[in-house]
A and B are shown apart, each in its own frame.
Chain A
């Protein structure tokens, strides 16, 4: 199912040709022989699941990463970018999802950052000329924006415009936009599409990354689909529809990569009723039974992590009840959650998981001091023994339990956190993206472990952005979209396409 890049019909010229790009990060092959051709004056959509390699490919284009193999050609000239500055000079501008503006400065100051028009005296800036030039630039593309306004006072939609103006000031010929509409209202998004069309008509090429497939069908001229670091499809939008795109995105064989499990699902263990929180999840209700692994799918920002955090007491819930084993829980903090028998393996092990500069054993016992009888006093010898025991159960590779957590590989760091929750022996375990950033071997170990925990009668909520692993492991799949639960599907009665549809496509109402 490897399609060759779409051959052009002669009259359009090629703005960008990336050929045979490969990139490896440690054990992970992020990109494998990817070729991408973008024509001048077109909008080229780049789609794929999380981890498919879109960001890596774009970061290579922007000079952030250097490819292991392959070449980049801009307007017919071969280029190799050693730094983002070089890529920018060549006419390639990136607009990241997290906008990159100096909030306290004005629109004009942001646009001309690093290239301010000189004033009459040495080391001074002519604000007047800067504003005039910004006005002129905005006028040329018919953008309606006040160059003297402070960026912090602008709505998000206008900030995008500022980013685009910044790119235009750099004489960009190719602009990469990464999920530009993820934080825009519908009206702002429509306006942005207008702007993008205008840029296209002026001969710029736009590489447009989005999970929102309706947008792509609306806006793009061509679509390239990445899956597992490979280009699987590239064709004009005329040949495609949402169903076909989804199929290309998820269509991969499920092999015995996923270990099997003797399923003995018992009675209801977890009941979540009408859960809402300030972070934007609304009236989420579901149940998980003993021994059941329930997957949770959804796009980035759909509210999956927020559900986990509300259940675990990280954030305050505004409505909702959580009933575990028939008992309603009162949870105001992670400490309460842990004491009630809930575990959360957070999605970002460096930020919210590990104390990297502390010993492995300390990281394992940290939430469990009470349970293993280390209150009021810690017993260091016993602590080492406990850490060693639980660590060897899942084969954590360390020089000793006293080694600092930072000395472990990514996969082993993840295992360290899993070991922590194994020791806690919670009844309800939430795993938020447990296989992110770990290699394939370690992934399989994580799956095996999830199965084992389910077999022990625990209830497991498994949040993942990778549909294949959800389909490989879960018994049931919940789908979140924009803070709401929009699907509760039994695995054997559904397909990845259906889940992706629910997650990515707004119903037309």
Chain B
């Protein structure tokens, strides 16, 4: 019962928020366009948050996702421009997209490799790569962005009325849900986060699994980077600054524990949407972005505090 209430809490908050916004701003909020717009914006964060969920369940953290997104976008865009010229062709865009996604994967492998091979804390490794990835992004074009004016498919097209980015988000949610629930990789991730020593003694190859978790996160960041590049038809070295904080917040609001072993895909989706709708609602209501930051901060602390109280209560009863 308690567990049920706990899981329902973020979801209930989300519904309340949507209901409140619908009542306050019926003309602008409750339109298909606005909802799809919010979802499409959420897709970049949501896709990365799926990887972050696995990382946090494993007991780790990935601070580098924002910088990684900038780097993957820059690499993808420069490949498009080098292979296709100022207005890249479809073929060049495909190649650039794949290389950008591959860059994310490589960055993730680098994170995972350093964490496992050197037995370093994920916080330290990804703090370092956060800085390094950002630095490379700036160096690539002397701090300037790359324009890719024709690269619209991933971020700005909506065949059959639904944005491609939202479809990709949905697909990745399904993949993450499936992996965490039905594969040994997912199961081992929970076990490592819950008790790494016990997992090792039960025959789990801890390092290989952690490597996979960070690599998959990198892959997802690569996909998100290309969506972001397409949304703005440009790759910017400043993309995703402090994005990692939004993502970690979404995962934690969704009920994951930073000490590992706990977290769900559904929770993270709710956390992501909660933050997105909050931002959207504040904008519609004319509340400044500065105040939004304060509200989101309060929600993070409130959500975790409530979760802990419920947990403590469940343990004593």
Contacts and interface: CB of A to CB of B under 8 A. Distances in A.
Interface string A323-363: 00000000001110111000010100001111111100010
Contacts of B198: 351-355
A371 to B, nearest CB: 10
Interface stretch (B44-52, B78-86, B184-192, B264-272): B184-192
Contact of A352 (B197, B204, B205): B197
Interface of A: 312, 314, 333-335, 337-339, 344, 346, 351-358, 362, 366-367, 369-370, 374-378, 380, 420
Contacts of A351: 195, 197-198
B261 interface: yes
A339 B198 CA distance: 17
Given A333-B205, A366-B199, A356 B194 contact: yes
A379 B195 CA distance: 23
A502 B221 CA distance: 62
A346 B197 CA distance: 11
A355 B200 CA distance: 11
Given A314-B200, A362-B190, 15 more contacts: A333-B203, A335-B203, A335-B205, A352-B198, A353-B198, A354-B198, A355-B199, A358-B191, A366-B203, A367-B202, A367-B203, A367-B204, A376-B183, A378-B182, A378-B187
Contacts of B187: 362, 366, 369, 378
B231 interface: no
A314 B190 CA distance: 21
B183 A420 contact: no
A353 B199 CA distance: 8
A358 B190 CA distance: 8
B241 to A, nearest CB: 34
Interface in B164-216: 181-184, 187, 190-191, 194-195, 197-205
Contact of A369 (B181, B184, B197, B200): B184
Nearest to A365: B187
A427 B183 CA distance: 27
B190 A375 contact: no
Given A355-B191, A357-B261, A358-B190, A334 B202 contact: yes
A356 B183 CA distance: 20
Contacts of A334: 200-203
B9 to A, nearest CB: 19
B262 A357 contact: yes
Contacts of A314: 200-201
Given A374-B184, A375-B184, A376-B184, A362 B200 contact: no
A355 B190 contact: yes
B185 to A, nearest CB: 9
Interface string B29-64: 000000000000000000000000000000000000
Contacts of B205: 333, 335
21 contacts: A314-B200, A333-B205, A334-B201, A335-B204, A344-B201, A346-B201, A351-B197, A352-B200, A357-B194, A358-B191, A362-B187, A366-B202, A366-B204, A367-B202, A369-B184, A369-B187, A370-B184, A377-B182, A378-B181, A380-B181, A420-B202
Given A334-B201, A338-B203, A375-B184, A366 B261 contact: no
A357 B190 CA distance: 9
Contacts of A367: 202-204
A386 to B, nearest CB: 14
A374 to B, nearest CB: 7
A378 B179 CA distance: 10
B234 to A, nearest CB: 40
Nearest to A378: B182
A377 B191 CA distance: 16
Contacts of A377: 182-183
A443 to B, nearest CB: 23
A378 B202 contact: no
Nearest to A362: B187
Interface in B95-128: none
Contacts of B197: 351-352
A66 B198 CA distance: 33
A116 B190 CA distance: 47
Given A358-B190, A362-B190, A352 B201 contact: yes
A352 B198 CA distance: 4
Given A314-B201, A352-B198, A362 B183 contact: no
Contact of B191 (A335, A352, A366): A366
Nearest to B262: A357
A203 B194 CA distance: 51
Nearest to A349: B198
B256 to A, nearest CB: 12
Contacts of A366: 187, 191, 199, 202-204
Contacts of A358: 190-191, 194, 261
Contacts of B181: 378, 380
A352 B202 CA distance: 9
Nearest to B201: A352
A382 to B, nearest CB: 12
9 nearest A-B residue pairs (beta carbon): A355-B194, A335-B203, A367-B202, A338-B203, A366-B202, A367-B203, A355-B195, A334-B203, A352-B201
Contacts of B201: 312, 314, 334, 344, 346, 352-353
B176 to A, nearest CB: 15
Contact of A337 (B191, B203, B261): B203
A21 to B, nearest CB: 30
A366 B182 CA distance: 13
A356 B195 contact: yes
Contacts of A353: 198, 201
B203 to A, nearest CB: 4
For B190, B191, B202, B262, the residue with the greatest tally of chain A CB atoms inside 10 Å of its CB is: B202
Nearest to B259: A357
For A314, A351, A357, the residue with the greatest tally of chain B CB atoms inside 10 Å of its CB is: A357
B317 to A, nearest CB: 11
A312 B198 CA distance: 13
Given A375-B184, A378-B184, A355 B203 contact: no
Contacts of A380: 181-182
